[in-house]
Amino acid sequence: DSGVTQTPKHLITATGQRVTLRCSPRSGDLSVYWYQQSLDQGLQFLIQYYNGEERAKGNILERFSAQQFPDLHSELNLSSLELGDSALYFCASSVEQGTEAFFGQGTRLTVV
């Protein structure tokens, strides 16, 4: 158990819908990262938050957004979903930026 909790574990939704994925980092970790894992793209960095502020952006679509709340949990919002958004979404956390990151079990999103 990495100490990073992601909910839900599985999500099935229809095209055009909006979903929210939630991540609770390890206790004391200030940095949260979101990654997308798909068969064709592999593991891709989406976005990072550090102590409530956005710090880095990767290949994140405009339809996707995230935030980190004062209690340090983070949410990834995916809207206007398309079939191609089906993937495993991971959250990771670390104490400081650049230190080792611990991954949650992921949320498997299926868009039908």
- Residues making contact with other proteins (CB under 8 A): 2, 4, 31, 33, 35, 42-45, 48, 50, 55-56, 58, 90, 92, 94, 96-106
Identify which of residues 29 and 85 has a Cβ nearer to other proteins in the complex: 29
Nearest distance in Å: CB 80, other proteins = 25
Nearest-angstrom CA–CA distance, 94 and 27: 10
- For other proteins, which is the closer residue by CB, 79 or 103? 103
For residue 101, what are its two tokens?
């990151």
* Distant-in-sequence, close-in-space partners of 3: CB < 8 Å, separation ≥ 6: 25, 26, 27, 102
